[in-house]
Every structure is written in structure tokens, then in C-alpha cells.
């Protein structure tokens, strides 16, 4: 998995440019990263920045800021990403979608990120506003597919570009084979790495990686992990990912469904075990969904990273 991706044809050596996600992935150590979303209220903003400062103390490899359904949080995403780049020591990745944006608007956004030193962008086509499973309508002056967005970003400057990967398959893909082909096309368009949609069975990730490798593509694929901290998280995960929650795991949570503390503990233990297995199987890193709350993901990170990140191991008493 590590090493120079064979599906990309662009990029420079690490010595010739600032720190980028692709450079971190080729350094030989697993990356650990966290994902935030733009809050809608002032209180939510204050809470987010408390969490960001807590995460900053852990010195993760990078953090990312989502774009919101239908591109509805574009301005807040840009503002938060800019502030992370200028006011913290964190390496930010900006999510960018093609929804409701002309090429001119997309180029403007790319320029804003470049202006504050943000060199990492996660390019996704995005869901239609209002109904994520509604009909996709291309902006009359925009792009149709994520691979076009990847090319646009790559042509605009020295960016490290990530794309989305789907261990189960994208809800709009007719089958796994076509979903794999769509993914490889994004990589061949210039993607340096990928971050998966959330999943709860390590085998789903490993099957995805094997399918992609069989197509001759070795772009690093970072697994995205969301621990189950509430019983309601199970239904929410199915809605967000479009993938069924594993039956054997659901049965474990059903046994403790009436005990919130037990659900949380089981969720943390399950996520930790899965992270350990993924890393043992050669996953290039772990990307945690935080929902702007650092407690559970911070616990998991500290438990698994202390044995794998030299800096953290040296700091232990």
C-alpha cells in the first residue's frame, strides 16, 4: 500500500514541496487523522474550537473539514479550514464538492485555499441538496464527475488530492464492479490517496483494497472509522453510509442496548479492535469521524497510537 501510487501521473517529490498528505503516506508510518463538520450555531462554533484544540494537543497527522450536504456549508468549511491553517499547528484537508458550483466558483475556492497555504483537498462529487438520494443534476457550468474535479484541482496548482472510496459500494453505483471502476478512474485522474466511507467490518475494507489492487492501482486508501457511542448511532450509520450494519455486531449491541455506558464501552472496544486489525493488515492510517466531539475518538487514538507512533511512545511515563 505504501510507496508511490501507480495510478497517478502527477506530483513532485517531498523534498520539492511543503508537507502534503501524500508525502505523509509515503513516509512509512501510519497516519492518524480526525474529521470535523462546520457547525450551524455560535455555540457549536465555540465547541468545535475547543475540540480542535484538544485534538491539536495529540499532534495528529492531519484533520479534515467536511463540506455539508449539497455544498450548503461551503463558506463555513472554507473559513474553518483557513483558520486551522493560519491559527493552529494542524495540517488541514478541505473537503470540496461539485454540487451547485460552476467551474469558475470551484477555481475561486481552490484559490482561497492556496492563498492561506492549504495544499490538501478531498474532492467528492457530493449529494443533491435536500435529498441525498435524489436525482443528480449537474451545474450547467460545472463538472459531472469527481474525476473531473480531481483534474481541475490538480491543474490549478501543487495540491495533494484525495477522493472518496466505498467499502460496500456507493449507493448510486449499480454494482461493486462498476463502483470499483469509478474509483480507479478517479485515481487515474490524479488522486494521491483516498479516504473511505465509514464501515464496521474490516473485511469490507480489505475486499475493497483487493479489488482496487486487482485493477493495477495502489493508491493508498485510508479507512474511516466512527465508533458506536450510542445505540442510535447504528441506524444513523446506515443512513449516512448507505451500507447495512453487520448483523453479528448489531447482535452484540442489542444485548446492551438499555445500558448507555455499556454501549459506549462496547463501541470503543470494537472500534479499537478493528483499527488494530486494519493497521496489522497494512492500512496506511486511520481517519476518525468525531462529530465535533473528541472524547471517544481521542481514547481510541491514544490506545492504539502509543504502540505505533514513536513520538507518543517516547512520551509515555
What does the alpha-carbon distance between residue 191 and residue 151 come to, in Å, rounded to a whole number? 8
Positions marked catalytic: 35
Q: Where are the beta strands (DSSP E) in the chain?
A: 31-36, 62-65, 92-97, 120-124, 160-165, 193-196, 221-222, 224-225, 285-289
List the grid coordinates of 30: 501510519
Place of cell 517516547: 314
Residue 187 CB-density burial (10 A; 0-12 exposed, 13-18 middle, 19+ buried): buried
List the grid coordinates of 43: 455555540
Strands across the sheet with 193-196, in order? 221-222, 193-196, 160-165, 120-124, 92-97, 62-65, 31-36, 285-289, 224-225
Place of cell 486487482: 214
Query: Is-contact 285 61, C-beta < 8 A?
Result: yes
What does the alpha-carbon distance between residue 182 and residue 164 come to, in Å, rounded to a whole number? 11
C-alpha separations of 288 from 35, 46, 109 in Å: 6, 21, 25
Q: At what angle do helices 146-155 and 176-188 cross, to 10 degrees?
A: 10
* 191-224 burial code (b ≥16 CB/10 A, e <16): bbbbbbbbbbbbebbbebbebbeeeebbbbbbbb
Amino acid at each position: 500500500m505504501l510507496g508511490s501510487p501507480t495510478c497517478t501521473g502527477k506530483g513532485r517529490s517531498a523534498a520539492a514541496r511543503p508537507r502534503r498528505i501524500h508525502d505523509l503516506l509515503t513516509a512509512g508510518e501510519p497516519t492518524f487523522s480526525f474529521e470535523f463538520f462546520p457547525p450551524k450555531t455560535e455555540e457549536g462554533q465555540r465547541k468545535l474550537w475547543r475540540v480542535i484544540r484538544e485534538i491539536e494537543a495529540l499532534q495528529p497527522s492531519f484533520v479534515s473539514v467536511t463540506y455539508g450536504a449539497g455544498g450548503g456549508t461551503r463558506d463555513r468549511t472554507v473559513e474553518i479550514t483557513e483558520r486551522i491553517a493560519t491559527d493552529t499547528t494542524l495540517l488541514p484537508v478541505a473537503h470540496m464538492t461539485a454540487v451547485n458550483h460552476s467551474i469558475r466558483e470551484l477555481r475561486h475556492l481552490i484559490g482561497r485555499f492556496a492563498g492561506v497555504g492549504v495544499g490538501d483537498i478531498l474532492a467528492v462529487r457530493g449529494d443533491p441538496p435536500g435529498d441525498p438520494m435524489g436525482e443528480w443534476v449537474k451545474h450547467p457550468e460545472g463538472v459531472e464527475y469527481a474525476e473531473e474535479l480531481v483534474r481541475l484541482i490538480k491543474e490549478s496548482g501543487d495540491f495533494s488530492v484525495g477522493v472518496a472510496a466505498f467499502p460496500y459500494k456507493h449507493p448510486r453505483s449499480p454494482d461493486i464492479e462498476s463502483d470499483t471502476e469509478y474509483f480507479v478512474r478517479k485515481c487515474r485522474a490524479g488522486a494521491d490517496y483516498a479516504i473511505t466511507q465509514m464501515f464496521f467490518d474490516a473485511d469490507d475494507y480489505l475486499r475493497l483494497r483487493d479489488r482496487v489492487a486487482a485493477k493495477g492501482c495502489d493508491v493508498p486508501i485510508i479507512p474511516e472509522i466512527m465508533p458506536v457511542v450510542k445505540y442510535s448511532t447504528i441506524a444513523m450509520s446506515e443512513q449516512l453510509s448507505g451500507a447495512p450494519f453487520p448483523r453479528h455486531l448489531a447482535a452484540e449491541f442489542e444485548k446492551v442496548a438499555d445500558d448507555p455506558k455499556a454501549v459506549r464501552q462496547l463501541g470503543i472496544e470494537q472500534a479499537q479492535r478493528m483499527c488494530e486489525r486494519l493497521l496489522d493488515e497494512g492500512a496506511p492510517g486511520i481517519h476518525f469521524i468525531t462529530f465535533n466531539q473528541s472524547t471517544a475518538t481521542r481514547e481510541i487514538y491514544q490506545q492504539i497510537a502509543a504502540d505505533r507512533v514513536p513520538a507518543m511512545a517516547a512520551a509515555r511515563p
